[in-house]
Each structure stands twice: as C-alpha cells, then as structure tokens.
Amino acid sequence: MEKVKLPNKVDPARCAQHGLAYQGVYAPALMPRLAELTQGIHGDIDVSLNFGTDAQGLRLMTGEARVQVSLQCQRCNELLDTTIESEFTYMPVRANATAPELPEDYDLIEVDEVGEIDLVRLTEDELILSLPQIPAHDNEQCSLGQFDQSFGKLPSADERPNPFASLEALKRK
C-alpha cells in the first residue's frame, strides 16, 4: 500500500461526522522531541486513525502509532533497535467545555480556536509516553550477557553459588 502523508491538523468533529479513517505516515523531522529522547528515529512514523461516534453518541478518534527507534541499553550502553507502539482513544472537546463522564480508556483532547487538533503533536506525545523507562536489551542480545531480573546487581562470579560447592565439601571430608 502506498504511504500517504497525513494531515498535520484535522477537525475531529467533521471527521467523525463523515466517519473518516486515515492511514499514513509522518516524517521523523516533524518530531524533534522524540528524536532528542532517542538515539535516532528510523524511517517514517506509521499512523492509523479512525473517527466516529460510539454507542453513547460521543465523538471519538481512535488510533495507533508505530515507529522504529534506537535507544541506549542501560546495561551495556550500546544501542538497541526497537519498535515503539501506542494505541489511543481521544474524545475531542472544546476549550472550557464541561467534559461528560468518560469511560476509563478515553482521553480528552481540546480542540483549538478553529476546532482542530494537532495530530503531529498528539502522535509525538503518545510515542514519547510509550518509550521504555529503562531501555535494555533482552538477555540474549545484551553484550553484558545473561542475568536475572536483578537489574543493576549483576553478581560477580565469586558471589554466584557454585553448583559444585557441595561436592567439594563432600570430597574434603
């Protein structure tokens, strides 16, 4: 499928009325904050969005965003390539509007003075929130080798229980 450039801003109420769906990409250059928090963004940011109305008649935008980035492994300090993904559901509201009771997994987003939302900013925020707090390779891929959950407390060889210790003890008797 051909990748289309997404609009940077949309009027979510109009999109919801027409039941629009978008699938496309944003260029990484549009997301300098994400670039700064990673060791590099690889390729475009894939985004799909659906506008519609839920059973209660609330106008909604649901979406998914996905991007490949490099992060610095906090164990071995080398780079790790990973996919950051986010799924979200937003209900657009006017500034100062009284928000209705919302289901838990809905977020509110305020539209600007012309009734639009900034999709680039929203997507960037979502991806930043999805970055791992402590990026680290899986055990098998980390150049520091394998060790258990006890992050930061890699036991030295001397502290590790020696499986032959009990044998040694027997032999010495």
Contact residues toward Zn ion (CB under 5 A) are 73, 75-76, 137, 142
Q: Is the alpha carbon torsion for 132, 49, 96, 113 positive or negative?
A: positive
State the nearest-atom distance from the C-beta of 143 to Zn ion, in Å.
6
Name which of 59 and 137 has its Cβ closer to Zn ion. Answer: 137
**Amino acid type, 163:** P
State the nearest-atom distance from the C-beta of 128 to Zn ion, in Å.
22
Name which of 100 and 155 has its Cβ closer to Zn ion. Answer: 155
Q: Is 160 left (phi over 0), alpha (psi -120 to 50) or beta?
A: beta
State the nearest-atom distance from the C-beta of 129 to Zn ion, in Å.
23
Name which of 35 and 76 has its Cβ closer to Zn ion. Answer: 76
State the nearest-atom distance from the C-beta of 152 to Zn ion, in Å.
13
Name which of 139 and 162 has its Cβ closer to Zn ion. Answer: 139
How far is 117 from 121, CA to CA, in rounded Å? 9
Contacts of the segment 20-26: beta carbons below 8 A, 24+ positions apart? 20/50, 20/51, 21/48, 21/49, 21/50, 21/51, 22/47, 22/48, 22/49, 23/47, 23/48, 23/49, 24/48, 26/120, 26/123
Name which of 37 and 76 has its Cβ closer to Zn ion. Answer: 76
Q: How many residues are recorded in the chain? A: 173
